[in-house]
Amino acid sequence: MIYDFTYENPTRIHFGRSAMQHLTTELNNYGRNILLVYGRNSIKNNGIYDTVLAAMQATGKNVSELAGIKSNPTYAQVLAGAKIVREQHIDLILAVGGGSVIDCSKGIAAAAACTHGDPWTRYWMQGEEVEGTVVPIGTVLTMTGTASEMNGGSVITNEEQTIKQGRVFPLATFAPRFSILNPEYTYTVPRYQMVSGIFDTFSHLMEQYFSGSDDCTSDYLLEGDMLALISAARKAIVNPEDYEARSNIMWCATMALNKILSLSKTQDWMVHQIEHQLGAYTDCAHGVGLAIISIPYYRHICHFGLHRFVRFATHIWGVNPDGKSDEQIALEGIECLSRFIAELGIPQTLREVGTTEEMLPLIAASCNKCGGYHVPSTDEVLQMLKECF
């Protein structure tokens, strides 16, 4: 069944080898003061920084910079950026990087608009609406996975509180106004980060897929994106500069979480909630943490939504159902997922990403509890973490 919905996405996508040619046109739509937000040195080493800076100089912009955004962006970095926005009267925040940089930029825009109180408490913990004028955001994407280039999501780590919290802000004000997607810009991303982004995308698809009844249009679209991603990922791990593979991965990632595939769907984001707290305690790469947690989680909940896990096994992994029970088929599909994670070269235990046994109960107790077919208890989450430790 398809339920009522309203869908709108304001982001303009420029995709392909010529995408950067549109940056000067986009910049001309905004005032003179730009805040350039990026990570460490990669965009300077690969020349993207010089290209972006040249475009801003050609359009007469005054450029302020906030560099060094972490893979798990921090609230301290959000506040530092908000201070620049207010003091320099910033007209546009230009995020050049992956999802972490873009998430941080949305956080900066939210914090800068905050007229009273603590933005973290108001916007991430209490979910209040952002008042005041929100500075628009544009992006130049250099790493795929989060789809932050076309959604309103902002996941930020408060290091003082050991909390990693996501907030989906309204698309109308927080979705980037434009995003430049050149697959070639992802070539220099280290393999570890490439496969982390691939699985982040795959997790987004699964968390929307494992919920609701069958035969919703979104289910078929989700399956198509999964199949395209599996095929492209297998080519990219052999040849990271396979343009066709990297372009498909990039577009799969954007489509996976720009809200179009989730229309009329209930959703299950429990794997993400557990990983957020894993990231708060270990600074683990997001997609890697998702991969480690996914297998024990889905083994635990598959019997609550057995029909969907059977479909996942047969439609995505080609499991032969003959002579097998539904539970056997479902578990075989999850085993195929496990083998795909190993094929990507992703670590498969929490110990490998710096987790200690003492952290497990803290992570289990502090993560938000949600779910699709089943909402796990703290004890259940702890057992899942122990199984992949």
- Cα angle, residue 249 at apex, residues 53 and 11 outer, rounded to 5°: 55
- Specify burial of residue 320 (Cβ count, 10 A radius: 0-12, 13-18, 19+): exposed
- 75 is in which domain, residue-wise? 12-185
CB 333 within 8 A of CB 313: yes
Same domain, 307 and 210: yes
Compute the mean pLDDT over every residue in the chain, rounded to the nearest whole number.
95
Same domain, 57 and 127: yes
- Cα angle, residue 190 at apex, residues 44 and 98 outer, rounded to 5°: 60
What pLDDT was estimated at residue 44?
A: 94
CATH of the domain at 326: 1.20.1090.10
What secondary structure does DSSP assign to 68-115, as a single string? Answer: ---SS-BHHHHHHHHHHHHHTT-SEEEEEESHHHHHHHHHHHHHHH--
Q: Which residue in the block uniquely carries the two structure tokens 């057992």?
A: 383
Same domain, 239 and 373: yes
CA distance 38 to 136: 16
Same domain, 204 and 289: yes
Which amino acid is located at 77 in the chain?
A: Q
Percent helix / strand / coil, the chain, rounded to 5 = 55, 10, 35
In a domain, 369, yes or no: yes
CB 149 within 8 A of CB 102: yes
Count: domains in the chain: 2
What pLDDT was estimated at residue 315?
A: 97
| Cβ neighbours of 237 (radius 10 Å) | 17
CATH of the domain at 85: 3.40.50.1970
What pLDDT was estimated at residue 216?
A: 85
CA distance 194 to 165: 23
- Residue 315's nearest CA partner among 236, 209, 237, 212 is 209
Same domain, 33 and 180: yes
Kindly report, residue by residue over 265-320, the tens digit of the pLDDT. 889 999 999 999 999 999 899 999 999 999 999 999 999 999 999 999 999 999 99
Same domain, 224 and 124: no
In a domain, 53, yes or no: yes
Same domain, 135 and 85: yes
CB 50 within 8 A of CB 18: no
With a cut of 50, list the residues of the chain below it in pLDDT. none
Same domain, 176 and 195: no
- Residue 278's nearest CA partner among 168, 361, 387 is 361
Same domain, 118 and 253: no
In a domain, 3, yes or no: no
